[in-house]
Amino acid sequence: MGLFKSLVDRARLVPLLRKQHDSAELRAHFAARHDIVVGLYSYGCFDRWRMPGPLRIGRYCSFAKTVRVVDANHPVEALTTHPALYERQFGVIDEDIIHAAPLIIEDDVWVGHNVVILPGCKRIGRGAVIGAGSIVTRDVERYEILAGVPARHLRQRFAPELAAAIEASHWWEMDSAALRALVAAHHDTVYSPTPETIAAAFPRRFERAGAGV
């Protein structure tokens, strides 16, 4: 019966996954069933086996289809490392005893193919990039680029002044129509931003910031 239900659930998800970047129904399903909350326009993360909950993902994130999240380590200090000691499905314990804190992935994060995110990482900051094949063992700062085994800092995507301007813009709160309009009106700014051009493209944000709002 459990296998049949699983197959039915997967079949139901197929049409929703075709529009995973903006499907409200798909997001509601994963939030209610698997404790996986995904912001609009993020994709590649709707797979509870590769990327199990609890998981919180922001908007405009890109995940390769081979990314994996490891939510807990086996208990090396215990009598056995077997999951029988923490998963009830094996019949040894009465209740699951994994109480993993959510992995939080902020907006505009790009994670490449065959990346493995281990339990030591609980937050990946906005705008971060993780190179293909990396093993992530720690938290990742905003706009940090990492790669390697284990993943190590390569560089920041932006200079501090530009990163601060991008943060102040809150561009990720835009819907796709507003982002399209931004590209049309400020093409060069979108593809090669500077602090000055970001401020010009988002005048209301910067006026409020200047007024201390």
Where b means 16+ CB within 10 Å and e means fewer, 127-139 reads bbbbbeebbbeee
Q: Catalytic: 74?
A: yes
Return d(Cα 34, Cα 205) in angstroms, integer: 36
Catalytic residue chosen out of the listed positions 74, 82, 113, 153:
74
Q: What is the DSSP string of 144-162?
A: EEEETTTTEEEEESS-HHH
The amino acid occupying position 44 is G
Cβ contacts of 35 within 8 Å, gap of 6 or more: 53, 54, 55, 102
Is the bond leading into 160 cis (omega within 30 degrees of zero)? no
Residues known to be catalytic: 74
